[in-house]
Amino acid sequence: VTAPDLAGRHVVVSAGGTREPLDPVRYLGNRSSGKQGYALAKAAAARGARVTLVEANTGIPDPAGVDVVHVGTAVQLREAVLKAAADADAVVMAAAVADFRPAAYAPGKIKKTDDGGAPTIELVRNPDILAELAADRALPGQVVVGFAAETDDVLANGRAKLRRKGCDLLVVNEVGERKTFGSEENEAVVLASDGAETPVPYGPKEALAETVWDLVLPRLRSTI
């Protein structure tokens, strides 16, 4: 039996990967499966929290006992997360948010031309939702958690990213062959703004989810 140590809390989790439309049939996307975010949402619900899961393009059925908001793009994900975060005790950004989106949306399908040429796609920056959440906390003491997938210098890059984003916890994954995207397993180090570093051995995403909530718990504001 799981202890209801998150009872009375509202937590927000984002999951999946945003898709940035180019025209009615094409988008720029990424390989996030959403499994880690769903594991986080289910674990928090099992521990008694009210959970809002903001989901982008996972195709995973809505978990029982979780409020799910379905979005497509980074701009939509930002809106939904900021709205849900207004009364949240903790926000965990597990979604892979596109850093860029096409500058223009073509209302008709982009066509090939007879001259053999190819279009150039101009991109613009998307808002950094995690940095924004951390900088403008909706409630004093709201705990903000990010994820970072790194390919090299995992710890050094993770520590720099934790400071840059201003979040309380950053779950740093090494992205590799059998790890992270689409896999059932994950291996990570959770970096905290107070300097604590918690290694999480290679194992199921459910185990990493429990460790994240274990680390969020002592950082939650005391009033509920």
- Mask for 144-163, x = binds ligand C5P (CB under 6 A): --xxx---------------
Which residues neighbour 47 within 8 Å (Cβ) at sequence distance 6 or greater? 2, 3, 4, 5, 6, 7, 213
Q: What is the largest CA-CA distance in the chain?
A: 67
Q: CA of 23: how far to CAs of 19, 104, 113, 126, 158, in Å?
A: 12, 9, 16, 18, 35
Using alpha carbons, select from 71, 70, 52 the residue that is nearest to residue 61: 70
Q: To the nearest whole angstrom, how small is the minimum distance from the Cβ of residue 150 to ligand C5P?
A: 8
3-class secondary-structure state, position 101 = strand
41 touching ligand C5P, by CB under 6 A: no
Q: To the nearest whole angstrom, how small is the minimum distance from the Cβ of residue 104 to ligand C5P?
A: 19
**Antiparallel, parallel or unpaired: β 50-56 and 10-16:** parallel
Choose one: 33-41, 116-124, 140-148, 185-193; the region binding ligand C5P (CB under 6 A): 140-148
User: Does 130 show up as a binding residue in the annotation?
Assistant: yes
Active site residues: 30
Restricting to residues 62-121, which ones interact with ligand C5P according to CB under 6 A? 74, 93, 95, 97, 99
Q: To the nearest whole angstrom, how small is the minimum distance from the Cβ of residue 148 to ligand C5P?
A: 5
Point out the annotated binding site: 99, 109, 127-130, 147, 161, 165
